[in-house]
Amino acid sequence: MSIRRFFPLLVPALFACGGGSSGSSRTSVVDSRDEYDPRSLDPALSTDVPTGRAVAYVFDGLTRFTPDAAVVPGLARSWDLSADGLTYTFHLRTGVKFHDGRPFTASNVLHSFQRVLDPATKGGRGWPLYPVKGAEDYAGGKQKGLDAVVVRDDSTVLITLKEPLAIFPKLLAMPVASIVPDNVPKNFGEHPIGTGPWKFLEWRHDDYLKFAKNASYFDGPPKMDTLTARIFPERSTAAAEYEAGNIDILNVPEQESRTWEADESKKARLQSAPALRFWYVGINTTRGPLSDVRVRQALNYAVDVPTLLNRLLSGRGDLAAGVIPLTLAGADKSRKSYPHDLSKAKQLLSAAGHPTGVDLELWVSQTPPFPKVAETIQANLAEAGIRVKIVQRDASSMREASRKGNTDLVLKEWYADYPDAENFLFPLLHSVNKGVGGNISFYSNSEFDRIVTASHREQDDAKRAELYTQADQIAFNDAPMIFLFFYRDLYAVQPWIQGFKVPAVFNAQRWTDVTMSKK
C-alpha cells in the first residue's frame, strides 16, 4: 500500500525549496503524527496509538507521564503504599469537574475501572488493570463486583493488588486507565467527556480531530486555544504540509532525515530523541536448530547491525545489547552488543552440529522499511551459511502466525506503553507471556522468570533496576532474539512553536505548554 519506497527519487527536489518564516497566521496548533483514524475516543477501547494520544488530551488518569518519561500525579494528588506493598491509597484532587460540569469524585474511579473490565464493553484491553485483586475474574464474568477498589470518601480511593507490583502507578497512566464520568452515553466513543486539558470539539474520520482548551483545567489550562490532530496515511504528504507551514510538528520520515540534517536552515528545527522502541528479530527458541543457544548467538554475530542502521534508517537508532532501551533504569550501557563476526558465527554453527549451515524462514510485514531490513539480514546471514527464505505477509497474518509459534524468525518492533524496563522484559521474554502475551520467542528460562517476578515485588527503585540489569544480561546471553537497535525519533518543529518536547511514550505529549508566535 505504501508508496514511500518510490519517494526517495523525489525527495531532494521536494526539500530543496520552501523556506520558513518565524510566525504563523493560524490560531490552532496542528499535529501530524497520526497515520490512521483512531479506533475510538473511548479510553476503554484505546488499543492503538492514535486513540491513546487523543484520550490523553481529553482525559486524565490517576497518574500521567511527562514527555521525558517521569510519572507524576494526575487526578490523584498523591498516593501511599501499605507496608505489604499490596494496598495503594490514592488521595484525589478535589474541585475537579468533567467537561460537562459534573464533579469528579472517587466513585468515578471505581466505575471507570469496572467499565474497562466489563465484558460488555468489548474493549479487549483489561490487562493494565489485571494486577488489581479480582479484576481478571471480574473481566471473565466469574466475579460480580470489584471489591478490591474501595471508595473511602469522595476524595480517597483504595486499590488492593493481588500481588505487589512496584510499577502499578505507571500502568495507571496508560490511556485505558483514564477516568470517565458515570453513565456514559452509547456514542461516548465519538463524543468523549473527560477532565483533561482539552475538550473534544470535532472528529472528521480519516481527516482530523479538533480539541478546544479546557480553561478550568486543574493543572493550568493549555496555552493555545485549539489543537488539531490531522491524520496522514502517507508521511511524505505530512512532510509537504510541514514545508507549506500547515502543520507544526513532523515526524521526519527515515529516508528523508539525511536531507533534512544536511540543510542548515532545517537542521536548527530538528529535535532528536531516543524513543522507547525496540527493533528485533524474534527467534522462536522451540523450533529445530533454533533451540540451540549457539545457533541463536551465531545469528546475532552474523548480522551487521551498524551498517544496516546506517544505510536503511539513516543512523536513527542506538545499538541494542539487550532489550532495555538505554534511557530506562536497568539498561547496562557498558554491555557491548554482539559484534559483526562471521568466523565466530560459523564456528558456533559448526559447534552446534551445523557445519553446512541451517535453513530458516524470516517473516516480515509489508510496511517500509521492514522489507528492506529483512533483505539485508538475509544477505548477512547468507554469508555465515544461514540460508533464509523471506516470508512477506501483512502485519495481521504475521502477528497471528508468530503468536501461534509457526515462525522461525520474525522481524518486528516493540513500543513501550509505559516507560519502564519491565515493559520490555516481562511481555517479550517472560514464560507466562508466550504467544499472544508478546513472547513470540517462546523463551523460557526459569532464572530469568524468577528475577523478573522478583522485580515486580521490589519497591526500591535502585534495587529493581539492578534486577532488570541481571535479567537483561541473561536474555542477552541466551539470545532469544537478534538484538537490533533502539529507534531514535526525529521531529521537525516549526520555528514559531515553543515548548514542544518529543515524548518518550506516545501519549506523553499533551500540548499544554506549547505556544505559537504570531505572524
Partner 1 sequence: MLAFIARRLLLSIPTLFGVLVVVFLLLYVAPGDPVQEMVGERADPETIARLRKELRLDEPMLSQFTHYAGGVLRGDLGNSYITQRPIIRDIRERFPKTLLLAGSAMLLASILGITLGVLSARSPGGWFDRLGLGVAYLGISFPVYWVGLILILVFAVMLKWLPPSGYGGIKFLILPAFALGSRSIAFLARVTRSAMLDVLGGDFVRTARAKGLRERVVVVKHALRNALIPIITVLGLDFGYYLTGSILTETIFSWPGIGRYVVNAITRRDLPAIQGSVLFLSVVFVLVNLLTDLAYAKADPRVAYH
Which residues have a Cβ under 8 Å from the Cβ of 303 and sit 6 or more positions away? 281, 338, 340, 377, 380, 381, 482, 484
Distances (CA, A) of 11 to 14, 199, 225, 258: 5, 38, 34, 11
26, 53, 99, 125: residue in contact with partner 1 (rule CB under 8 A): 125
Site string for partner 1, 384-413 (x = CB under 8 A): ---------xxxxx-xxx-x----------
Q: Which three cell numbers stand for residue 435?
A: 504467544
Q: Which of residues 30-49 bind partner 1 (CB under 8 A)?
A: 36-37, 39-40, 45, 47-48
207 touching partner 1, by CB under 8 A:
yes
SS3 category, 12 = helix
Least distance from C-beta 463 to partner 1, angstroms? 26
Binding to partner 1 (CB under 8 A) within 140-159 occurs at 140
Stretch that binds partner 1, among 1-9, 55-63, 73-81, 449-457 (CB under 8 A): 1-9
- Beta carbon nearer to partner 1, 99 or 230: 230
Q: Which residue has the cell 517476578?
A: 453
Q: Shortest Cβ distance from residue 279 to partner 1 (Å)?
A: 14
> Exposed, middle or buried by CB within 10 Å (0-12, 13-18, 19+), for 296?
buried
- Does residue 287 contact residue 300 with C-beta atoms inside 8 Å? no
Short-list 64, 69, 92, CA closest to 80: 92
How many of the other CB atoms lie within 10 Å of CB of 375? 16
Instruction: Specify the residue, 46 or 300, whose C-beta has the smaller distance to partner 1.
Output: 46
Q: Which of 118, 136, 263, 332 binds partner 1 (CB under 8 A)?
A: 136
- Is 192 a residue that touches partner 1 (CB under 8 A)? no
Query: Can residue 131 be called a binding residue for partner 1 (CB under 8 A)?
Result: no
- By CB under 8 A, the count of residues binding partner 1 is 63
Query: Helix 293-302 to helix 461-478 angle, to the nearest 10 degrees?
Result: 90
Does 72 bind partner 1 (CB under 8 A)? Our answer is no
Are the beta carbons of 263 and 252 closer than 8 angstroms?
no
- If one asks whether residue 18 binds partner 1 (CB under 8 A), the answer comes out as yes
Instruction: Show the cell assigned to 191.
Output: 463524543
Phi, psi of 515 (to 5 degrees): -130, 160
Is the peptide bond prior to 369 cis by the omega test (within 30 degrees of 0)? yes
Of the candidates 1, 144, 333, 343, which one interacts with partner 1 according to CB under 8 A?
1
Using CB under 8 A, pick the residue from 237, 265, 286, 459 that binds partner 1: 237
Quick one: which segment of 162-170, 215-223, 224-232, 356-364 binds partner 1 (CB under 8 A)?
224-232
Is residue 84 a contact point for partner 1 (CB under 8 A)?
A: no
* Grid cell digits, residue 241: 504540509
Binder among 155, 178, 236, 469 for partner 1 (CB under 8 A): 236
Helices (H), 172-234: none
Entry field: residues in the chain: 519
Residue 163's Cα: distance from chain center in Å? 25
Do 322 and 472 contact (CB within 8 A), yes or no? yes
Give the footprint of partner 1 on this chain (CB under 8 A): 1, 3, 6-7, 10, 13-14, 17-18, 36-37, 39-40, 45, 47-48, 119, 122, 124-127, 130, 136, 139-140, 189-190, 204-208, 230-234, 236-237, 240-241, 243-244, 246, 393-397, 399-401, 403, 414-415, 417, 427, 433, 435-438
